[in-house]
Amino acid sequence: MIRLTIYTTQGCHLCDELEAQVAALTRQPIEWLRVEVSDDDALLASYGERIPVLADDEGKELESGHKLERLSDWLYKRGWLDEAALEALTDSVEGAPPKGAHQISGRRFLG
């Protein structure tokens, strides 16, 4: 089982994204410790502008973990990365058009 701490705050969409990516890329049971930074002035000062921050059970932190390249490298170094899951995830992202994209007379529009 993987034990991870995520420094977060209520309504953090990047935190939700990060948790989902970790679950998809590890395919292992994860025990999450969610630390609400807004409840403590020291945590807020330290993590408030950096969330989400992910930490392993040794306290080694990952900032900007919602960026796939940084997250996959961090997981790989710990032996937790499911490389087939990463390949499947990157294949589905690379060729996909942006959501809501459409073309009119050869011009691409979003929305």
CB contact burial 1-30 (16+ within 10 A = b; e otherwise): ebebbbbbbeebeebeebbebbeebbeeee
DSSP conformation letters of 47-62: HTTT-SEEE-TT--EE
Q: Record the pTM.
A: 0.77
pLDDT at 101 > cutoff 70? no
The pLDDT value recorded for residue 48 is 87
SS3 assignment, position 64: coil
* pLDDT band at residue 66 under the 50/70/90 scheme: confident
* pLDDT band at residue 9 under the 50/70/90 scheme: very high
For the chain, how many structural domains are there in total? 1
CATH number at residue 23: 3.40.30.10
The pLDDT value recorded for residue 83 is 92
Give the domain range for residue 105: 2-109
Q: Determine how β-strand 53-55 pairs with β-strand 30-36.
A: unpaired
Q: Which residue has the higher pLDDT, 101 or 21?
A: 21
d(CA 61, CA 5): 9
